[in-house]
Amino acid sequence: MENYLKVLGCRGSVPVSGKRFEKYGGATSSYMLRLGGSLIIIDAGSGIMAIDYELGENEKNASLFITHSHADHILGFPMCCLALCKEYHSDIYMKTRNHLDAKAQLNSYLKEPNWPVDCDKLPGDFSFYEIEEEMKLKANPEITIKSLEACHPGGSSLLRFEYKDIAVVMATDCTIIDSVREKTLAFAKDASLILIDGQYAPDNVMPGFGHNSWHCAAEFAKEAGAKQIRIVHHDPHSSDDILDKAASELLKISPNASPAFEGETIRL
């Protein structure tokens, strides 16, 4: 039984396409985590469309964690097999925000004039759960999930998935500022793999937008002792050339750090 994470999409804000984005990909946030025999999907951006080609013939159940309901993290949901095929069941986990639970947040997007059908009209079968500070995966109690609220406009859930001696940390859509640094370091400590938001080049950070520079992200992950570091949520303006430059700079910070790319499989 192999444990690994596959990057289905690691672009931030909006999907992009074209020759300038062929290497790192243009699909937005979605990751497939195979852990302890369970299928976990993190985020449902446009990258989740690739899940249709990743599932086994008789694999009909998934656990979907959505870090927050900004459009780039949910826009692929209504068009993937989990939503469109009645034989699929998904346990969907989200944190209540603005007094809206998981289903209500998805339906705030899946309604006219944005979208023609809501969760109740989609063929897929869904159960909805709150992301708690610490919880067991409903589908596999051997897996523990811990969460921490990120510094991000509107909020976002940092997630830590633990199974035996493996710990995978998803830290997309966060800003590592001084007031949250120590508790975030403790949350990410000694991760087997951390996927951390590093949207911006160091000279192009947008204050208040809720994202880090790739330098800041890599330095934080190194300090946390992460064994493997992947920078995610790439700026939609960052071409392959720009991200290649980032890759060279990241290696100077840590030999374990690199920009994630769409289709990458990371063994755990």
Ordered by where they begin, the domains of the chain are 4-267 (3.60.15.10)
Mapped onto helix, strand or coil, the DSSP state of residue 8 is strand
Q: Which two tokens stand for residue 255?
A: 């030999």
What number is the average pLDDT over the span 5-30?
A: 98
Mapped onto helix, strand or coil, the DSSP state of residue 19 is helix
Pairing of strands 89-94, 140-149: unpaired
Question: pLDDT value at position 206?
Answer: 80
What number is the average pLDDT over the span 52-66?
A: 95
In this prediction, residue 57 has a pLDDT band, given cuts at 50, 70 and 90, of confident
In this prediction, residue 178 has a pLDDT band, given cuts at 50, 70 and 90, of confident
Q: Which two tokens stand for residue 42?
A: 């993190």
In this prediction, residue 217 has a pLDDT band, given cuts at 50, 70 and 90, of very high
Contact predicate 38/139, CB 8 Å:
yes
Q: By C-alpha distance, which of 229, 266, 242 is closest to 31?
A: 266
Contact predicate 231/11, CB 8 Å:
no
Question: pLDDT value at position 130?
Answer: 98
Q: Is the per-residue pLDDT at 176 higher than 80?
A: yes
Question: pLDDT value at position 204?
Answer: 82
Q: Supply the DSSP string of 163-187, one letter for each residue.
A: ETTEEEEEE-S----HHHHHHHHHH
